Each structure stands twice: as structure tokens, then as C-alpha cells.
Structure 1
Amino acid sequence: MQAQSYWISTQDQQKLYAKTWGNVEKPALVLVHGYPDNQEVWEPIIENLIHDFYIVTYDVRGAGESSVPKRIRDYALPRLSLDLECVVNALLPNRSFHLAAHDWGSIQSWESATEAKFKDRMLSYTTISGPCLDHAAFWMRDQFTNQKSKFFKQLFKSWYIVAFQLPILAPTVWHFFNPERWGMVLSQLEKTKGLPLNQNISKDGEHGISLYRANFIPRLTRPRQRHAICPVQAVVLKRDKFVSPELIDEMPKWVEKFERVEVDANHWAVLSRPQEIAGYIAQFATKNN
């Protein structure tokens, strides 16, 4: 596959490394990666979509080749939404687009998928293993009141969020990971060998911790009412060890046109089941073109 590379300047003088794939005449699809990944995680998916879509990917701030902000507050959700706006304005000027995102990419993309400025421009949103933090906060409050077992189940799955708040220990841990060690972790989680390796895993893991520090406590303690401005599809990974499928139950309250599909896979299905995930993204986008 051939890609065109670009550097995108943000409104706060960061630099985002972006790529476009495929025929510019095809419907536009933006893919936003999660943590601790960079845009390369999408390449198995892109292989299955490149003939039908003009695809845009980018390294989010702090990941891959993009610049690394010095302040934690520079990773806040409104700033991440502005990054997406800068990317699509530069690479898809005056064009509508579909959006699909995984993990933290999905969490941050909810900020854009609930912003009025993207209405009529964002045609559809496929979210994979990344709930809106505001929606999750309302869900957690409801479960604590009515079904404490579900509350504590998700709390147990989210142990790493607490660990990531530790100022020195959390970033240092990532120095012990090299691509091969991280690949072993993914292979065990996904029960699949030979998955693509992230050659930048140590830096992606270390810098991306700021995403958690900038957003989890503010959003979970002061949730906002966030309604989607486009059709939303949730790809639910039934064996996800980090995000409870039950969190998806909250989404229909905030989405006017909502669909849900289930995949018998773990958190990194974008790597272990790329053809299947690509199929769901393509079907939903085509339906809402």
C-alpha cells in the first residue's frame, strides 16, 4: 500500500503526522488510533478498506511521529477534538467524512461526535472499545445505585486507570517494554500469534499516559450531557479485558440512530480480526453515505 504523508499544524503549535491512503474520489474515512498505539495499528484494517474509501490516519499528539506536548492539560478532550478538526480541514477541506476509532481514539472521538460544529459533516461514527467518558460516568453512577456488581466489575477492569495517575512509576514502567515484549502481551490477550509490532511502544506508552491524567478525573466527577450528532455504531468486543460490554448499554440514551454489533474477540481486535472489523466499518459507512 502507498500512502501520502503530511505534517499538520495544530492551533497550539503542535505537529501531527498524518497519512492519506487510496483514491481521493472515494468516500472519506478517518481512523483514530488508541493507546498505547499509533496510526500504524490501522494498517491491517486499511488493507481491507483501501479500495472503497479515501482513508485518513494520523498519530495523535504524544504518539508516533507527532510532537509531544509538555503540559498534561494539553491532552484534554477539547484539545484532542481540535486536533481532529485541524486534520480534516487540512486533508479533507469542505468534505464530509466517516469516522472510526479504537480505544482512546474512540474516547477522544466522542468529543467530536457530540460537537455541533461537526453536524452534517461527520456522516457516521464507529466506536470500538472506547466509551464517551461522560456517558460512562452516568452509567457508573447508575450501576452504583442499582447494580453494584456491574459497577465493581468495571472498576476492577479499570485498575490501570488508577495506576496511570502515579506520576513517576507509571511512565517508568514503559521503559521496560520493547516491541517484542509488547507483542507477546498482545498475542496472549488476543490468542493470536504474529501480530504487527509497535516499534515505538515505549514512547507511545510513556507519553500517552497524559491522556488519562488530563481527562478521567474531570469527566468522571463532572460528567456533561453529550448527544451524538451523527449515526453511531458500537463494535462490542465480548472478551474485552479493559472495557465492559455493559458500558455500551448507556449509548442509546445519547444517540438518536444507534446500532450495535458483537465480535467474539479481545481488546485489540483491530489487529487480530482486521477483516471482520473492517467489514463492520465499511457496512455502516456505506449505509450512512
Structure 2
Amino acid sequence: MSTAAKRSTVVNEGIRLAVFETGNPDGETIVLVHGWPDTHELWSHIVPKLAETFRVITYDSRGAGESTVPQERAAYRLSNLASDFYAVADAVSPDHPVHVLAHDWGAVEVWEAAAQPQAVDRIASYTSISGPNLDHLGRWSRSRLTKPTWTGLKQVFAQTRASWYTVTFHIPGLSTWRIKRQFAKGWPAFLQEFSNVDPALVTQNPTLWSDATHGTNLYRANLIPRLTNPRERYVDIPVQLIVNTEDVAVRPYHYDDTSKWVKHLTRNDIPAGHWSPISHANEIAELTKKYIASLS
């Protein structure tokens, strides 16, 4: 088993993606995909727990860490991000499908990839944490507004209130001010306040400010188109939802309709906040290993 990560570069659409490999070279391949404003280092507590069993691949998404940072908003569309994922998967495991574990915007982009036709041949399983399929979210909201009940309206309002910060991310000057304000005390302090993460577990990435500001393009390029015009997106690969019941950004009940869209769905709720890959690394790793083992 390798403990030191081997770095390589995968080029897709002119974007250079920094890819890191460690773990058991004879194990099945699992690809870990981070969200905003993280890098592959998000998984630093989970990788060692998977490395004995799996060949573990992490990478910095476009706009983050050591990967290329596009300036134009259009480069951050879900279709581009899904294309990046498949480019990495094809480079590291061209002959076998990969398992996937993804968080936040990483989960959103893998949902996009999972609904594409090639998913059944390239993705062996997908474990999603705190990142919805935006089309499913749009359909969920629409269904509760067109046939309103008191509970449904309360849920939509609660999710809207939880996501209000995304409105500020659509306004360049305001988004910069908000990020500065949120991170003024440092990333560890923010995660402690927002997600009840022990600051001792957090290492602040040196590219955090750039990643956070450029990463707002994820919101600008995707939220309004997908939520206002949601597509029918069916997923035929095995999917595990790890739902953080204390997540203040992604409320757990919006996953209640996911089984309408996903043929093979497993759901596990854990009492965690948004950044559970840091605060609940043991639980995430164990649920992922058990789920993949159950598919054998």
C-alpha cells in the first residue's frame, strides 16, 4: 500500500487538473471529488481510512488548488465539470469503472455525470454528501409549490432561507465582501461556527481566497438555469446518499423525492453539519466501504 500521493496532470478542454493517487494499487479505484471552496485536501482525514482497501484518487477541480483557474463564468458549467470528472476517471482507470465519493459542489457535478449515458459503464457506485442534483432540487421545489401543503411550503421556505447566501454570490462586489466577512477569522474558525468542526482538524489551504472568489462562478453559471428550468434526470447507477441532518446549507428533506429519479438508492442519515468529511471522517469512510462491499 502506498501512503505518499503520486501527483499527475490530466488535461481536459485545455484545463490542467492536478490529480493525486495513493492507497492500494491492487484495490478497486475510488475517485473523491471536493466542493467549494475546498481542494483535494478536504479528504485528508478520509483518504487514510480508505487507502488500505482502495486505490484512492483525488483531484483539484477546475478553479481550485493546483488546477487551472478559468476566468470566464461559462467554463464552470456543470457540463464542463462533468467532462473533467470523466477525463480523470478515464485517465486513472480506463478499463474499469470507478467508485465515487463526492461532497458539496463536487457532489453536484458528479450528479451531472451520473445522469449521462456513459455513467453505467464508467461509474461503479456513487456516494453523495451535501450536494444535490440541481434538477432534482428544482423539481422537488416545483412539486411543493404547484401542489402546496403546509409542510411542503415550510420545507421550500427553509431551504430557500438556508441558501440565501447564493444570491449574494451572483453579485461580484457583494460576493467578494461576503467572502471576506465570512472568512475574516480564518477558515478553521469559520468551519467551527458554520459546521461545528473542531478547528484542530482543519488546515487552511494557501489558495483558499482565490478558490473561494473564483468558485462563485459555480453558483453563477448553474443555479438559475437549473432551478428555473429543471430537466428530467434519471440515474441508473447505484447511489448512496449520506445525509447530514444538521447541515444548515443543504436541508435533508429535499432528498425525499430522490428515489423518483434514482433506480438503486440507499440513504444513510448522520448527525453532522455540512463539512462532515472533516468532522465525521470515520463515519463517512465506514459507510462508503460498507456500501461498496454490499454491491459485490
Class of the TM-score when normalised by the shorter of the 2 chains: over 0.9
Of 234, 244, 247 in structure 2, the residue corresponding to residue 237 of structure 1 is 244
Residue aligning to 1:100? 101
- Displacement of 1:119 in angstroms is 1.1
Task: Sort the Cα spacing of 1:156 and 1:178 in 2 relative to 1 into closer, same or farther, 3 A.
Answer: closer
1:100-150 per-position Cα deviation (integer Å, ceiling 9, x unaligned)? 100110011101111111213211110101110000000011122322111
Of 234, 248, 258 in structure 1, the residue corresponding to residue 255 of structure 2 is 248
- Displacement of 1:56 in angstroms is 0.8
Of 224, 242, 248 in structure 2, the residue corresponding to residue 217 of structure 1 is 224
Unaligned runs of 5+ in 2: none
Residue 198 (structure 2) pairs with residue 196 (structure 1): no
TM-score (norm 2): 0.93
Percent identity between the aligned chains?
A: 36
Task: Sort the Cα spacing of 1:257 and 1:24 in 2 relative to 1 into closer, same or farther, 3 A.
Answer: same
Contact 2:244–2:272 (8 Å) recurs in 1: yes
Residue aligning to 2:47? 46
AA of the residue aligned to 1:239 = E
What secondary structure does 1:161 align onto? helix
List aligned pairs for 1:105-124, cutoff 5 A: 105-124=106-125
1:223-281 per-position Cα deviation (integer Å, ceiling 9, x unaligned)? 11111120111001010000010011121001111111010110001000101111111
Contact 1:163–1:170 (8 Å) recurs in 2: yes
Unaligned runs of 5+ in 1: none
- Displacement of 1:191 in angstroms is 2.9
Residue aligning to 1:165? 170
- Larger CA deviation: 205-214 vs 181-190: 181-190
AA of the residue aligned to 1:268 = W
Contact 1:27–1:53 (8 Å) recurs in 2: yes
Task: Sort the Cα spacing of 1:288 and 1:180 in 2 relative to 1 into closer, same or farther, 3 A.
Answer: farther
Paired residue total? 288
Residue aligning to 2:266? 259
What secondary structure does 1:83 align onto? helix
Contact 2:114–2:123 (8 Å) recurs in 1: yes
Residue 192 (structure 2) pairs with residue 187 (structure 1): yes
AA of the residue aligned to 1:215 = N
Contact 2:99–2:125 (8 Å) recurs in 1: yes
AA of the residue aligned to 2:42 = V
- Displacement of 1:189 in angstroms is 2.9
Residue aligning to 1:56? 57
- Displacement of 1:179 in angstroms is 9.1
Contact 1:119–1:229 (8 Å) recurs in 2: yes
